[in-house]
Structure 1
């Protein structure tokens, strides 16, 4: 069995175990997740993500079984890592490779985590529009994350295959991200609305399956006279999965601007998704205060898109992944600080 397969199996087993514990501990109680619990779970997921970064820093070469110069050159060329290999010092070159993997992973993690905030805006809107009580949010989000992991896995490895076969597709991704960023900026103040009855996913489900408005104590399906009906809880789960599919079209190309290694893309993407559920409960009551965050995310997408379009020139100028990380953190920090220093006039007047 290959080293990549062992890494993936171990990683997936860990995810399944953690989600099983998560689902078992919290979903049975059907109680709203408190701010304290959300903060603790957020800290735990961030800690796991950072521990994985340490794993890559010290043993990242084990991912692709890099133990000799020939293998190192092969993997660096295959995944377009911008590093200078010292042929006279294998240990130093492997250490540099591990450091590069770690920075790529952390940068991808920050990008995906930041873009996930936009998901939270939409999720809050969806739960409100479908009339889902807060005590059922956790159950929907955990199952939603399971579906998101499966979809992201498919997207990532298909994307990697496309990039390997058609190098020009990076320019397509870059142009798309720049367009998405400008579009997000232009529509930053537009109020988003969801019409549950006319949403395409709901219309499709209503056409092909039986649907009820009964919540049935938080169940996904309601059985009446031997007939199974979809409840609003399952409908909102379907809509969330559909929404995540749309968001993946932005976020996955964005991470491919950081690294072309599909395994690093997968690890950073999944750790960010796993932290999304606890971050949702942490930010649900204060997210409206970060009104400049959408502006920050718009500039983030534009920057990443331009980086993909200009990657050859940037490499020649010595622009590294570490520089990208600093720019990304700067954009996010500036948008958060601006939101706190310059609150919305309505909030300011009411305070």
Structure 2
């Protein structure tokens, strides 16, 4: 797939314009969006992604379009997992509901910047060293095992890292969020940081960790930087509104980690097969490609990802429903 410079420029301008509208809305009136507002925005962003994929299909063919949709679904699922940690951070630092939109939007912008940098680095590595797929594959399998060990999400899953602990200890931080700015002036006239700064540090470092997971995953589906970038952007767009739309539903997706672990393990295995097929390491098959290594077609990847995440979601909702019925029966008894 050949992407010209002007296509990149037009795409970037369009995406920045959409984000700018989001920024203006939040900047003008920080608030907790209603279900109707959140649902409308999520539908709008999902519709944009679907239309973009159709455009890729018309211009470049079915294979690149399939890669985009598969990558978008994978990244969207990982972004939903990211929301679990955002929920924990919001609760841990007691962020007021009307300021949570601002926190989420800044977190999404940080995620876009970090993923953009990782995409550029990943594309450069792949272009020079095909064996990097071995590393990506091993990392994804390791991440899958980590997700399996974590099991259900709860507040113990989030641990304050060294940067957060240092900031809370070394910086003069007020006890109130105020109007949501990073700094405020105390009654004595002293300039203080608000807890919003600590929340931003927590969100930013979390985004960094999730970028480390998501970039190898998307490169396991497509090596085209343009598709990698756009799949990530469309997966992050609307995440803020999805946070409010799902609400308590996030807590009911108890098996999502297991579904994501299966998806990441599958993509990790796919990367290993790709690395074997294009092998250049001298100590593996004499530096030649392993021709028996099969190539997993994109349609099969799409089916596996949709099927796995669908089963995990349905199983989660069924378990949550059974648990609620048991609680109601126990309360009546």
Structure 1 and Structure 2 fold alike (TM over 0.5): yes
String of CA shifts for 1:254-287, please: whole Å, max 9, x gaps.
0000011111100101110113212111122211
For the Cα contact (< 8 Å) 1:27–1:138, is it kept in 2?
Answer: no
> For 1:54 and 1:145, how far apart are their aligned partners in 2?
25
Change in Cα spacing, 1:314 to 1:135, as seen in structure 2 (3 Å) is farther
Say yes or no: does 1:257 pair with 2:220. yes
For the Cα contact (< 8 Å) 1:120–1:284, is it kept in 2?
Answer: no
> For 1:174 and 1:50, how far apart are their aligned partners in 2?
28
> For 2:79 and 2:51, how far apart are their aligned partners in 1?
21
1:326 to 289, 292, 303: 303
> For 2:106 and 2:90, how far apart are their aligned partners in 1?
15
Which deviates the most, 26-35 or 45-54? 26-35
Correspondence for 2:316: 339
> For 1:168 and 1:288, how far apart are their aligned partners in 2?
39
Correspondence for 1:154: 117
RMSD: 2.3
Secondary structure of the structure 2 residue equivalent to 1:343: helix
> For 1:31 and 1:305, how far apart are their aligned partners in 2?
40
1:208 Cα deviation from its structure 2 partner: 5.7
Change in Cα spacing, 1:179 to 1:199, as seen in structure 2 (3 Å) is closer
> For 1:103 and 1:109, how far apart are their aligned partners in 2?
10
The unaligned stretches of length 5 or more in structure 2 are 278-289, 329-333
Say yes or no: does 1:45 pair with 2:45. yes
String of CA shifts for 1:204-229, please: whole Å, max 9, x gaps.
33466432222112222213466543
Change in Cα spacing, 1:20 to 1:228, as seen in structure 2 (3 Å) is farther
1:7 Cα deviation from its structure 2 partner: 2.2
> For 1:308 and 1:292, how far apart are their aligned partners in 2?
25
Aligned residues: 312
Secondary structure of the structure 1 residue equivalent to 2:221: coil
For the Cα contact (< 8 Å) 1:112–1:272, is it kept in 2?
Answer: yes
1:19 Cα deviation from its structure 2 partner: 1.9
Change in Cα spacing, 1:232 to 1:343, as seen in structure 2 (3 Å) is same
1:180 to 121, 129, 143: 143
1:18 Cα deviation from its structure 2 partner: 1.4
TM-score of the pair, normalised by structure 2 = 0.87
Secondary structure of the structure 1 residue equivalent to 2:156: coil
Which deviates the most, 215-224 or 157-166? 215-224
Correspondence for 2:196: 233
Say yes or no: does 1:17 pair with 2:17. yes
1:110 Cα deviation from its structure 2 partner: 0.3
1:211-250 equivalences under 5 Å are 211-224=173-186, 227-250=190-213
The unaligned stretches of length 5 or more in structure 1 are 61-97
Change in Cα spacing, 1:194 to 1:215, as seen in structure 2 (3 Å) is farther
Secondary structure of the structure 2 residue equivalent to 1:215: coil
Change in Cα spacing, 1:194 to 1:57, as seen in structure 2 (3 Å) is closer
1:304 Cα deviation from its structure 2 partner: 0.9
Change in Cα spacing, 1:350 to 1:317, as seen in structure 2 (3 Å) is same
For the Cα contact (< 8 Å) 1:291–1:344, is it kept in 2?
Answer: no
Correspondence for 1:200: 162
Change in Cα spacing, 1:215 to 1:108, as seen in structure 2 (3 Å) is same
